[in-house]
Amino acid sequence: MKKIEELIDEVLKIEPDFQLRKDFKDRVVSAINRQEKASQRKLYLWMALGTLVIFGFGYGTIAYFLPGTFESLNGLNDGVSGIIPLAVVIGILITLVQYLDKRLVKNKILMNI
């Protein structure tokens, strides 16, 4: 095994025959930035879609278990008026937790690798 490592070290010490362009570093950094921006746009799109699904699921659940709630505005005053704001708050909290998880937790874990 030691011979293989020595061979690899010797080969890596040899200068390559080609030279990189002077703007190579800038091009790599700009490509990484473009990919990161595209990834962020995709993340925000999925978060928006997830929020709509959560609100739709909450609306469907309330409409299923409390059938008269959304038929008229009078249905909101029958003692179930606290459910709709609660569903909205839960949806917003879930979206906030997903956002914070992406921004704070996953990025810090990736930076520490």
Q: In sequence order, which residues have a C-beta less than 8 Å from that of residue 91 and are 6 or more positions away?
A: 51, 54, 55, 58
> Count of domains in the chain?
1
Report yes or no on 11 lying in a domain. no
Domain interval for residue 71: 35-113
Tell me, what's the pLDDT at 75? 47
Mean pLDDT per 10-residue interval, the chain, length 113 residues:
81 82 88 89 85 82 74 54 73 83 69 55
Report yes or no on 43 lying in a domain. yes
Report yes or no on 76 lying in a domain. yes
Between CA 21 and CA 29 the distance in angstroms is 14
Report yes or no on 98 lying in a domain. yes
Report yes or no on 29 lying in a domain. no
Report yes or no on 15 lying in a domain. no
Report yes or no on 113 lying in a domain. yes
pTM here is: 0.44
Tell me, what's the pLDDT at 74? 52
